[in-house]
Amino acid sequence: MSIIYILIPIAILLTALGIYLFFWAVKSEQFDDLEKQGMSILFDEKTSDDKRQHSDLNTSSNKEKNISK
């Protein structure tokens, strides 16, 4: 029976910690866009290196077209 005197304060502390962490997550905007991460896997996002390489390829192919004319 004396164990209940230990378990009740521990339960209260864990509940308070859980409530604090929940409000912290809401305040720090963790739940603002729930669908972004789920949709991000469906689309291929190019990194800046990929964009730069793609633009370099377009520039070199345009130069080759201008030379051949």
pLDDT for position 10: 98
Q: How confident is the model at residue 50 (pLDDT cuts 50, 70, 90)?
A: low
For the whole model, what pTM was predicted? 0.48
Residue 48 has pLDDT above 80, yes or no: no
DSSP-based three-state secondary structure for 65: helix
pLDDT for position 3: 94
Higher-confidence residue of 39 and 53: namely 39
Residue type, 38: G
How far is CA 43 from its chain centroid? 14
DSSP string across 3-19: THHHHHHHHHHHHHHHH
